[in-house]
């Protein structure tokens, strides 16, 4: 489980490594282009919180494992981040994209 720290908040937000790795790539790309966006994330109380992602607000990504990025999930997340509603990590379509992005491993008998 990775952690997202926003605006020097003491309590980091826990996000699955697969989702957080993709979110990091989307965020860096958007901020490098000078584009801000709304990001809705789950909170520890099973609610959701919307954050404004802007280059002037500190943000930190901490992942426990290395994750291979999937182009189709990145494209979906970039499209959502560019929409008027912003990027919502509670969106079931993104969760499905994360599950589909996981590599399959063959098992031998």
First to last CA, the chain: 30
Q: In the chain, which stretches have pLDDT less than 70? A: 96-109
| Predicted pLDDT at 98 | 54
Helix runs in the chain, H state only: 17-32, 71-81, 92-101
Residues 6+ apart with CB under 8 A from 70: 22, 97, 100, 101
Rounded to whole angstroms, how far apart are CA atoms 21 and 66? 8
| Predicted pLDDT at 10 | 76
* Per-residue pLDDT tens digits for 23-38: 999 999 999 999 999 9
């Amino acid at each position: 489980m990775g952690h997202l720290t926003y605006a020097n908040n003491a309590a980091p937000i826990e996000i699955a490594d697969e989702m957080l790795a993709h979110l990091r790539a989307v965020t860096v790309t958007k901020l490098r282009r000078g584009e801000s966006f709304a990001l809705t994330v789950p909170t520890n109380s099973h609610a959701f919180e919307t954050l404004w992602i802007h280059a002037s607000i500190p943000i930190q990504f901490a992942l426990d494992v290395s994750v291979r990025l999937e182009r189709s999930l990145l494209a979906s997340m970039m499209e959502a981040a560019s929409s008027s509603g912003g990027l919502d990590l509670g969106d079931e379509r993104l969760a499905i994209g994360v599950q589909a992005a996981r590599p399959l491993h063959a098992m031998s008998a």
